[in-house]
Amino acid sequence: MAEKLSAVKGMNDIAAPESAHWEWLEAKVRALMSRYGYRNIRTPIVEPTGLFVRGLGEVTDIVEKEMYSFEDRLNGEQLTLRPEATAGVVRAAIEHNMLYDGPKRLYYMGPMFRHERPQRGRYRQFHQIGSEALGFAGPDVDAEQITLACDLWAELGLSDVTLEINSLGQPAERQLHRAALIQYLEQHQDQLDEDAKRRLYTNPLRILDTKNPAMQALVEGAPKLMDYLGAESLAHFNGLRALLDAQGIDYRINPRLVRGMDYYNLSVFEFVTTSLGSQGTVCAGGRYDGLIAQIGGKPAPAVGWALGVERILELLKAQNLLPALPVPDCYAVVPQVEAMPQVMPVLRALRAAGVSVQMHAGGADGHGSMKSQFKKADGSGARYALIFGASELEAGEVAVKPLREGAGAISEQTQFALAQVAQWAAQLRQA
C-alpha cells in the first residue's frame, strides 16, 4: 500500500456537514455587505514578500517570525503566502488604479497563512472576512465600519461581544510618545520579560499589549498615547465617538489598544469576547492612511477591519447559535436500477422547481434493497421519501411518503402523476 499522507499540521480540511455553517456565515456577510454598498474583491494568496515587509513593518511579529516565505524556483522571486489581506487589497487598488473615479468600499473572504503554534480558533491556515474603505478621510467611515461589524453580530444573534476603541494619532505624535515610553520602560528594565526587552527599541508600543500578568501594573503606569495627540487627531477621535454615541453603540476607550502592524494611525478598534478564553479578540481594525503611499500609490486615506472565521464559528457554537444542518426535502427510493432512465428526468424537474432531492444510487454492493434504501432515506434527514416502485411507475406515478410527523404539507402517503411535476412540487417545499 502507498504511504498514507495527511494534511499539514494546522491546515485543516473543512468538509460537510461542517462546511454548511461556513456557507451560512458567508451568505450572511455577503447580504450585509451588499446592503452597505461594499463590493467583493479577491486577491491572490501569494504576493511578493516585499509587499508585507514594506506594508506591515520589518520588526513586526508577522514579518519576523510568522510568514511562509519562499523563493520561486523558476525565476528566483521572493514570494509569501499572505498573512493578512489588507496589504494585498491596497496593492490591487494601486495596480489597477481603482481610486481614479473616487473612493471604494470593498470586502473579501479567504485563507491567510501564519507559521505559529496552532490554537483554538487560530491555525496555520486560517480564514478571514474583512472590509476595506479606501479614499475616505473622515470619522464617519470609521463609524460606518464599526457599525457594519455591530450589525453583523446582531444578524448572527451574538452576545458577549464588546467594542474597545483608541486613537494612535499621527506618526509625529507617536514618535513623541515613543520616546517617552522608551524612557519610562528603561527605568523598569528589571520588570520586562524577554519579549518586551526584544521590542523595547524596535516596537515599544506593542509592549503595551502584553498579556503577561506580571507586567500589567508596569503597563498601567506607562505614558498614554492619548496625552500626546494634537488637536486634529483628537477631533477625529471625538468625531468617531459622537457618531457611535448617536447610534447607541456601547464602547470602552482602551488606551493600551494597539495594532500589530505598523501601518495603522488614528482610530483603532477591537471587538472582544469572554466566551473564548484568552483568545478573546474576534474582530479588529482601524485607519491606515499612510499605507497606500507606503506601497507606492498616490497618498489616500483608508480604514478597515478583519474577523477570524474560525473564531466567529467557535463563538456561535459556544452560544448555541449555529443553524441546523441542511437536509434534503426528499429522498428518492428507486428499487430497480432499470427504472433510472424514467426516474432521473422527474428528479431533475423537481430540482428545477426548487425541491432539493437526494437520489439513491448504487454502491459497490449493488443498488440495495427497499429496506436499506428507506433506512438511508431516514438517515438523510429528508422530510419525504419519493417511492419509484414498479407499480407506481407502471401507473405513471410516484408515491410520496412522509418520513417525519408534522414535517410538511403532506401528512400521509400520496400518489402524484409524473407528468404533472410542476403542480405538486410546491407541496414538497412547504414546511
Tens of pLDDT, residue by residue over 110-166, are: 999 998 776 665 689 999 999 999 999 999 999 999 999 999 999 999 999 999 999
Q: What is the mean pLDDT of residues 353-363?
A: 88
Question: Binding site annotation covers 288?
Answer: no
Question: Binding site annotation covers 86?
Answer: yes
Q: Is 411 helix (H, G, I), strand (E, B) or coil?
A: coil
Question: Binding site annotation covers 263?
Answer: yes
- Mean predicted lDDT score pLDDT of the chain: 91
- What is d(CA 430, CA 56) in angstroms, rounded to the nearest whole number? 52
Q: Is 115 helix (H, G, I), strand (E, B) or coil?
A: coil
Question: Binding site annotation covers 384?
Answer: no
Residue 368 pLDDT exceeds 80: no
What amino acid is encoded at 222 in this protein? A
Give the burial class of 305: count Cβ atoms within 10 A of its Cβ; 0-12 exposed, 13-18 middle, 19 or more buried. Answer: buried
Q: φ and ψ at 426, to 5 degrees?
A: -60, -35
pLDDT over 90, % of the chain: 66
pLDDT in tens, 9-37: 889 999 988 999 999 999 999 999 999 99
Residue 21: the pLDDT is 97
Q: Which CATH number fits domain 18-169+229-319: 3.30.1490.190, 3.20.20.70, 2.30.40.10, 3.30.930.10?
A: 3.30.930.10
Question: Binding site annotation covers 128?
Answer: yes
Residue 121: the pLDDT is 57
Would you list the domain boundaries of the chain? 18-169+229-319, 330-427
pLDDT in tens, 311-343: 999 999 999 999 999 999 999 999 888 899 999
Residue 60: the pLDDT is 65
pLDDT in tens, 229-270: 999 999 999 999 999 999 999 999 998 887 766 678 999 999
Give the N- to C-terminal CA distance of the chain in Å, as an integer. 49
Residue 260: the pLDDT is 64
Q: What is the mean pLDDT of residues 95-108?
A: 97
Q: What is the mean pLDDT of residues 178-189?
A: 88
Domain spanning 330-427: CATH 3.40.50.800: yes
